[in-house]
Structure 1
Amino acid sequence: MRIFRISLACAAALPLFIAAPAHADDDEEALEPFRACGSITEGPARLACFDAALAGADAAQQARQERRRRRTVEDFGLSATQIEERYESELRRAERSGGSADDVAELAPPEPQEVTSTIAETFTDGTQRRVFLLDNGQIWREGNNSSLRGRIRIGSTATVSRGGIGGYRLRVEGRTGFISVTRVR
C-alpha cells in the first residue's frame, strides 16, 4: 500500500516537472538584467544598475497586464473554439513576421464576467431579431429570452454579462430587464 501512495504522489508531481522548463526560460530572461548588475563592484553603480533593471521589469509587467486586459475584453462572449482559432491565427501571423509564440501565448487571460460599452448601432436581422453593434466592435444578436422591451437607443450604455444558467444577457443603463444575446462577432 505504501508503494502505491508513493507512486501516486510521483505521478501527480510529474506534470510540474514537465512544465518546469517552460517557466525556467521565462525566469532566465527576466533575471538576465539583474545578473549583469551582479558583476558590478562599485556600490552606487551597482545600486543604480539594480534600480534600472527593476524599473525595466516593472514596465514589462505593466505592458503584459495591459495586453491581457485588452484581450480579456476582446474575447468576451467568444466560444472556446473561436478563441482557439483566433490564437492559432495570431500565432501563425507572429511566426511569419518574426515574432515568437510567447508574444501570443501570454495573451490568453481568463474570460471576464461582464463587458460594458456604448451601443453604436442597432438593427433587425433577417430573422426579425435585434442586433447590437457596440463601440468596442462586438456584435450581439437577441436570443429568445428577454424581459426588456421597447426601443434601445444608440448611445446607451450596455453591459453584457453571463446569464445564470449559461448564455449572455445585455442590460441597458437606466432600464430594467435584460435581453438574452449571443455574440456574432
Structure 2
Amino acid sequence: MRIAPFAVALLFAAGLARADTPQDALSEIARCADVADSAARLRCFDAAVPRAKKALAEHQAREKRGFLDWFGFARPPKPVTRPEDFGKPPAAEPGEINQITAMVAEFAKTPRGKSIFILDNGQVWRQLDSDTDEIFELAPGKPMKVTIEAGTFGGYNLSIEGRNGIVKVRRLK
C-alpha cells in the first residue's frame, strides 16, 4: 500500500520533466490536484511549482527577446479609429517596448561624418540628424550607455548617458 503513493508521485515527476511550456507546466499542476493521497499530492505540487515558475520565466524571456530583436525596424501604422484621436500619438499596447538601453560596443563614422552605433545586443544604428553636428566618444575605449526610444512619426531618438540632446537614428541591423 505504501508503494502506490510513491509510484504516483514518480509518474507525475517523470511527466513534469518534459514541461517545456507554461501550458504543459499548468497541466502538470492540474494533474497533481487529482492525487488522492495528501502526502503524495504535496510532493507532486512541490515538484511541479518550481518547474512551472521556470517554464513561465523562460517563456517571458523568449517573448521579450523577440520584441527586442525587432525594436527599431519599420512597423505598420496603427489605424485611426475615431476622429478625435486623429493626430494623437498612438497609445502603447501592453507589452510593447518603446525604448531600449544598451552599451555601445563599437563606434564609427561614415565618410560624411555621421555616426554609426554598434550596440552590445547586436543592433546597428546610424545617425540621421542631431542637435549637435559632432558626436564623439566620451572616452575612447570606454563604453557609452545609450537609450533609444521611439520618437514621433515612426522615428527613433538616441540619447547618450551623461550628455544633453538627442540624435535621430535609423536601425540598420
State the partner residue of 2:51.
Answer: 56
State the partner residue of 1:133.
Answer: 118
Amino acid at match of 2:28: P
Secondary structure of 2:154's aligned partner: coil
State the partner residue of 1:4.
Answer: none
Residue 133 (structure 1) shift: 0.9
Matches within 5 A, 1:5-16: none
Inter-partner Cα distance in structure 1 for 2:52 and 2:71: 29
Matches within 5 A, 1:13-92: 29-80=24-75
Q: Tell me the C-alpha RMSD between the 2 structures.
A: 2.6
- 1:174 lines up with 2:162 in the alignment: yes
Secondary structure of 1:45's aligned partner: helix
Secondary structure of 1:119's aligned partner: strand
- Report the CA distance shift for 1:156/1:32 in structure 2 as closer, same or farther (over 3 A): closer
Residue 39 (structure 1) shift: 4.3
Q: Percent identity?
A: 33
Structure 1 segments (4+ residues) deviating >4 Å: none
Aligned length: 132
Structure 2 gap segments, 5+ residues each: 1-20, 77-93
Q: Which moved more, 1:133-142 or 1:39-48?
A: 39-48
Higher helix share: 1
State the partner residue of 2:132.
Answer: 148
- Report the CA distance shift for 1:61/1:157 in structure 2 as closer, same or farther (over 3 A): same
Q: Does the CA-based 8 Å contact 2:127-2:170 persist in structure 1? A: yes
Q: Normalising by structure 2, report the TM-score.
A: 0.64
Inter-partner Cα distance in structure 2 for 1:27 and 1:119: 35
Residue 80 (structure 1) shift: 3.9
Q: Does the CA-based 8 Å contact 1:162-1:168 persist in structure 2? A: yes
Inter-partner Cα distance in structure 2 for 1:183 and 1:151: 17
Q: Normalising by structure 1, report the TM-score.
A: 0.61
- Report the CA distance shift for 1:35/1:136 in structure 2 as closer, same or farther (over 3 A): closer
Pick the aligned partner of 1:158 from 130, 146, 159.
Answer: 146
Q: Does the CA-based 8 Å contact 1:148-1:176 persist in structure 2? A: no
Structure 1 gap segments, 5+ residues each: 1-25, 82-108
